[in-house]
Chains A and B, each alone.
Chain A
């Protein structure tokens, strides 16, 4: 079974600085999809960024980028120029190629300090 691990329950960053959230996963599949979701205080789940395993190039979405290391089964999220609105719980998630089931990590609570 696939597992997703986020080893940082809490992280904090100063506004305008950069922070990296860690995620590792375990799978026996060769192709799969990885996602970072953000859950602000409203608790609405919002997609931040996605990565397909067979694509070697790291995904980037504006201030958000990932460092995808397939051999190490690592999928970290870097937030540049952090903003107060980035404060939220961040979840790393895995989806295999069959079906739509997501497996979530434990989450990292990000605080952005002004």
Chain B
């Protein structure tokens, strides 16, 4: 199957600093990528849809100025958590779906990034 790579796998940062998470589609071009947040033992909550060459679409309640998304190329989307605080500590996951495949082609997920803000 297609490969989506996410980096870093885990990161610890100090409160007030910013952290960037990268999501790359390694063997396909992704015009759209998705960013999810997952708290322990809970489901994946969609934060935003990243669109190549245009602004991201944020879900209700997600602060776009805090979670900056850049999708500057067809294989890379980045999520920057700005001025991170302990409550931003979570597991962040990206996904992308190869274009042009059959309609039931599944989405592929990155390995996730565990962010801890201290």
Give the B-binding residues of A (Cβ under 8 A): 33, 35, 42-45, 47, 50, 52, 89, 91, 95, 97, 99-107, 109
Q: Which 8 A-B pairs have the closest CB atoms?
A: A45-B109, A100-B97, A47-B106, A104-B43, A43-B112, A104-B44, A106-B43, A52-B104
Q: Which residues of A contact B97 (CB under 8 A)?
A: 100
Contact B42 A50 (CB under 8 A): no
> Which of these, B41, B42, B49, B93, contacts A45 with CB under 8 Å?
B93
Residue of B nearest to A102 (CB): B107
Contact A102 B104 (CB under 8 A): no
Contact A52 B43 (CB under 8 A): no
Total A-B residue pairs with C-beta atoms closer than 8 Å?
51
Contact B104 A107 (CB under 8 A): no
**Which range contains the number of B residues in contact with the other chain?**
20 to 34
Residue of A nearest to B109 (CB): A45
Interchain CA distance A102-B91 in the complex, whole Å: 18
How far, in Å, is B74 (CB) from chain A's closest CB?
15
Give the A-binding residues of B (Cβ under 8 A): 1, 32, 34, 38, 41-44, 46, 49, 91, 93, 95-97, 103-104, 106-107, 109, 111-112
Interchain CA distance A102-B46 in the complex, whole Å: 8
Q: Which residues of A contact B1 (CB under 8 A)?
A: 47
Residue of A nearest to B113 (CB): A43
Contact A107 B112 (CB under 8 A): no
Contact A44 B109 (CB under 8 A): yes
Q: Which residues of B contact A47 (CB under 8 A)?
A: 1, 106
Contact B104 A50 (CB under 8 A): yes
Q: Which residues of A contact B46 (CB under 8 A)?
A: 101-103
* Listed A/B pairs (28) with beta-carbon separation below 8 Å: A33-B103, A35-B106, A42-B111, A43-B38, A43-B93, A43-B111, A43-B112, A44-B111, A44-B112, A45-B95, A45-B109, A47-B106, A50-B106, A91-B43, A91-B44, A95-B107, A100-B34, A100-B97, A100-B107, A101-B34, A102-B44, A102-B46, A102-B107, A104-B44, A106-B43, A107-B42, A107-B43, A109-B41
